[in-house]
Amino acid sequence: MSGLPFCPKCNCEYTYENGSQFVCPECDHEWSSVAVADTEEKRVWKDAFGNELKDGDSVTVIKDLKVKGSSSVVKVGTKVKNIRLVEGDHDIDCKIDGIGSMHLKSEFVKKA
């Protein structure tokens, strides 16, 4: 047929485009055509030097990082094993020896 997606609300096949929106003529539901394209892309996490990070990787901290709410500091060169990648501002979830569970930004680590 036309190649347009079915309505996500009522599954109607007679949707049409109106600018950057898709519109369903049966239930009047409108949704963004950009949102459909974004769901197909997977996020790729990269370290400070552009290396791709994966769950379970080991990384090294490249800058002294103050721990919020504490007087502790994560020193340059601290190796962090078995990271977990998560969505959000701080995109690495990990445990650091002597400090505990933390969230780090990928821009402050390099792949080990």
Consecutive 10-residue averages of pLDDT for the chain (112 residues): 79 87 90 61 88 95 93 94 92 92 94 92
Say how far apart CA 83 and CA 68 lie, in whole Å. 20
pLDDT, position 1: 45
Q: Classify burial at 7, counting beta carbons within 10 Å of its beta carbon; exposed 0-12, middle 13-18, buried 19 or more.
A: buried
Q: In sequence order, what are the residues at sequence separation of 6 or more whose Cβ sits closer than 8 angstroms to the Cβ of residue 37?
A: none
What pLDDT does 11 receive?
A: 86
Looking at residue 56, its pLDDT comes to: 94
State pTM to two decimals. 0.62
**Predicted local distance difference test score (pLDDT) of residue 8:** 86
